[in-house]
Amino acid sequence: MTERKIILHLDMDSFYASVEIRDNPALSGLPVVVGADPMKGSGRGVVSTCSYEARVYGIHSGMPISQAYHLCPDAIFIRPDMESYARVSSTIMQILTDMAGEIEQVSIDEAFLDLTADQSYEQAAQHASEIKRAIRDQVGLTCSIGIAPSRIYAKMASEQQKPDGLTIIQPSEILSFLSPLPVRSIPGIGKKSAQVLVNAGIRTIGDISRCDIQALQEIFGSHAVRLLQISRGLDCEGLRETGKRKSVSREHTFLKDSVSPEEILGFMHEMVLLLCRELEERDIYSRTIGIRIRYTGFISRTRSVTLIKPTREVRIIEQAIDGLFAEMWDQTPVRLIGVRLSGLVHSDPVQRSLSDF
């Protein structure tokens, strides 16, 4: 049997509003609406997002700002500062990359991570708590996380306990998690499709799972097969490749925490060999060599070095890794190690440097 993946979905809580409140703590606890100027109720444009205190009044993303004003004229209305949100977002994505290797960022405040290397849901849950803590300590914001055996289930899980939630759905719990949820909980099922389903007496995901494929095909055409699979807990999609991959990486979890630098470097060199082969197959070179070491208790440390010339030579990369490891090694038992090659370029560095002359 193939091993099922462990996928994490992270979504920041009321993102733009939370950044505003973080930067102006006097707003904390108040209904804060980020969006267009309400102009005392005559403003055009919409709500980008709002704090959970404002949501109590029925205000939500996409609502006309004038309507939001009528629902709560005393709310604090703020124009969006996209530059600030983009800066915060890239800090968060960097933390995630440092703590979990490859990530798939899907929006300014959302990303998927593959935690299969954690090997168990208990470990993945601890890892997630560590990620939440790092974002809280380093960025001053809360997020909600879902962990499940596929991308779509992880996303549905992260929705369950917002804000500041952590929801774990193990494979054995998938069906009982899905079955009572309304059909709209499936990402991609909008208002219209949901109405068609409800009109046909199909209200919950459990109802979908009992449908026959022909009936679903009439409503969803070619999407029916996937929908049926999702509803039956059989989906297993992992991270998607986001356009050009920015790095190649490998990880290794020790069965027993390692205290042997020889053993650790041995595994790292093995990973280098595999990664260099991958670079060769894709005809690319890497400029930045990074290693990640996770200790017991999920404290992770990363270190990287950027070379003058991109390379895919095993010996050069091994040397860089030996140097990085020597700087980090302090006898603390190691649970997981990772090697990441980034700064990927297509050109042949030798060719280019020759033609420079």
Contact, 291 vs 268, CB < 8 A? Answer: yes
Which residues, 6+ apart, have CB-to-CB distance to 333 below 8 Å? Answer: 257, 258, 259, 295, 296
Contact, 112 vs 156, CB < 8 A? Answer: no
Query: Which residues inside 13-42 make contact with Mg ion, applying CB under 5 A?
Result: 15
194 vs 273 by CB, closer to ligand TTP: 194
Q: Determine if 13 is a binding residue for ligand TTP (CB under 6 A).
A: yes
Q: Determine if 109 is a binding residue for Mg ion (CB under 5 A).
A: yes
Cα Rg for the chain, rounded, in angstroms? 24
Q: Determine if 49 is a binding residue for ligand TTP (CB under 6 A).
A: yes
Within 232-294, residue ranges assigned H as helices are 261-281
61 vs 229 by CB, closer to ligand TTP: 61
Sheet holding 166-168: strands in order across? 103-107, 110-114, 7-12, 143-148, 166-168
**Contact characters 116-155, ligand TTP, x per CB under 6 A:** ----------------------------------------
Q: Determine if 11 is a binding residue for ligand TTP (CB under 6 A).
A: yes
Site for ligand TTP (CB under 6 A): which residue of 162, 203, 226, 232?
A: 162
144 vs 209 by CB, closer to ligand TTP: 144
Exactly one of 20, 102, 104, 110 is catalytic; which is it? 110
Q: Determine if 190 is a binding residue for ligand TTP (CB under 6 A).
A: no
Nearest to residue 237, comparing CAs of 76, 114, 94, 73?
A: 114
φ, ψ of residue 99 in degrees (nearest 5) = -90, -15
- Verify whether residue 83 is a known catalytic residue: no
Query: Which residues inside 236-275 make contact with ligand TTP, applying CB under 6 A?
Result: none
Q: Compute the least distance from the CB of residue 12 to Mg ion, in Å.
A: 5
Q: Determine if 229 is a binding residue for ligand TTP (CB under 6 A).
A: no
Site for ligand TTP (CB under 6 A): which residue of 5, 43, 61, 126?
A: 61
Which residues, 6+ apart, have CB-to-CB distance to 74 below 8 Å? Answer: 31
Q: If contact means CB under 5 to 8 A according to the sort of partner, which of ligand TTP, Mg ion, none does residue 48 touch? A: ligand TTP
Element (H, E) at 287: strand 285-295
Alpha-carbon separation of residue 90 from 96, 109, 114, 169 (angstroms): 10, 9, 19, 28
Return residues touching ligand TTP (CB under 6 A). Answer: 11-16, 48-49, 61-62, 108-109, 162-163
